[in-house]
Amino acid sequence: FVCLSVAELDIQKRSVRVSNAGCPYPCHYRAESGAIEEVELDAYPLAVREDIEYEVRDIQFASGDRLVMFSDGLVEAQAVTGEMRGFERVHEIIRQGCLAGLSSRALIDFITDQVHEFTGDRSSGDDLTCLVLHAL
């Protein structure tokens, strides 16, 4: 399967257009409230069906907001016990990093460090991809 999330940034309108093809929902961190909201965009991975139309969602960005897009390797990372990281834990990690005021690069490092701490020496065999957009 080929999965992807895509975002088009409009700096003048302070908005982002987002679409998704089989990846976990992107997370929108709202700086004003400190809340994480999933950008719910249901769609199959690319080329699974010919008749699919991919939804596009516009997101308004306030100062300090972030959009975090990531591969399923992040939520499916497993500890030695077999327990998966899961969406709620990933959302909390993102929220903690954003509340701490980490830069985009530092937030990605924080997220991946937390996953590696959770999995220990266990290799997931899956990619771990993460992208952060930050409205200044």
Predicted confidence (pLDDT) per residue in 32-54, tens digit: 999 999 999 988 999 888 888 89
pLDDT of residue 91: 96
Question: Which DSSP helix (H) or strand (E) runs through 5?
Answer: strand 4-10
Comparing 37 with 84, which gets the higher pLDDT? 37
Class of domain 4-134: alpha beta
pLDDT of residue 83: 81
How many Cβ atoms are within 10 Å of 62's Cβ, its own excluded? Answer: 11
- Model confidence over 14-25: pLDDT tens digits? 999 999 999 999
129: closest CA among 78, 71, 79? 71
Q: Are 67 and 7 in contact (CB under 8 A)?
A: yes
pLDDT for 123 beyond 90: no
The whole-chain average pLDDT of the chain stands at 91
pLDDT for 130 beyond 70: yes
pLDDT of residue 124: 61
Q: Report the predicted TM-score, pTM, of the whole model to 2 decimal places.
A: 0.90
